[in-house]
Amino acid sequence: MPIVTHIALFPLSIPLKAPFVTSLGALDAVESVIVRVTTEDGLTGWGECNPFWSINGETQETCLAVGKHIARALVGHDATDIEGLHARMDRLIFANNSIKGAFDIACHDIAAQAAGLPLHRYLGGTKDRSLITDYTVSLGTKERMAADAQAIIDNGFQVIKVKLGGTPQADIERILAIRGAIGGKIPLRIDANQGWSPEQAILVLNALGDANIQHCEEPIPRWQFMELGRVKEASPIPIMADESCCDHHDADRLIQLGACQRFNIKLGKSGGLFKAKKIIALAEQAGMEVQIGGFLESRLAWTAAAHLALTSEAVLFCDMDTPLMFTMDPVVGGITYHAGGRVEVPRTAGLGASIDPTHLASAIHVC
């Protein structure tokens, strides 16, 4: 039984090659938190979160502060008791799913190592298919976005995600400009990040119905989820819930409302793999399709996400591109990127990824 004896928290900051721009604002750097969990029998598990202020209400500072309390609560806990881990964290503090997700990943890493299995196999999955990630065009002028889309195609990616959420006419012109640059063959995925009203969403989505768009993520404000079904019914483009679908409780509510056709699952929203799998199970039962996405995590957390993507045939879409936007890579092992956006998971036991110690600052808190 791998009992937790030691936990360390580290801030991780990395500049981006270019600003990452959505309707919620622009980011110039990654501000993440790394969790390292050690057990009495010498196993070490790694986890990560990238708190996204405007979506999950957490920051690097809050994650480090809350993480101290969680760390104290988990010392002496069996790292393989994942359900008990979440019971302790949820009893201790409400929400804070980003930092909880980092602890969840680290303990899953240990549990899979203890079982001698790669994480996807420990989670019940098999490595019987390829994972293909899209690459994202940030929000900007239509000219800049069209040029960025062309560069993505030139680099061999098979699908493009486009950030929208401005005025309806400007967003329509952005997609038309991209189509003018790259043609109509390469599929697009669009993400308004809550930027439209229901009426605006219906207008834009109908105007773009023939633009070979696979789905639209979170077209309207998350608190208007009761209106999401109306948008879905009026749209020729499938609707994917993102900000309105954090954990399995949200997913269940959206299913009951018939609000969308797809879910975008992020470990930083769900609180980690344990609850993410609950969302997938609900999607499977409802016959819905799923995307595995994330925030601006390094390849460490994305490795966990990629393992998760191999656990269900309901996972048809992958949005795993953000590590390619970093100015440096602090991860040892982990997922690898290949031609055409193909993503490969490591074959070693556990997560198969860790952080190079030279990239870590001094531990903020050690238990």
* Residues belonging to the active site: 163, 191, 217, 242, 266
Cα distance between residue 359 and residue 356, in whole Å: 6
Cβ-defined contacts of 284-289 (< 8 Å, 24+): 284/312, 284/314, 286/255, 288/255, 288/260, 288/261, 288/262, 288/263, 288/314, 289/261, 289/262, 289/314, 289/316, 289/317
3-state SS assignment for residue 295: coil
Give rounded-to-5 percent helix, strand, coil for the chain: 40, 25, 35
Residue 220 makes CB contacts below 8 A (sequence gap 6+) with 192, 194, 196, 197, 198, 201, 227, 228, 231
Please count the other Cβ atoms lying within 10 Å of the Cβ belonging to residue 63: 29
Token pair for residue 25? 């604002």
In the block, residue with structure tokens 């560069």 = 151
Cα distance between residue 70 and residue 90, in whole Å: 10
3-state SS assignment for residue 354: strand
> What angle (nearest 5°) sits at the alpha carbon of residue 361, between those of residues 41 and 46?
35
Q: What order do you get walking across the sheet with 342-344 strand by strand? A: 131-132, 342-344, 336-337
3-state SS assignment for residue 68: helix
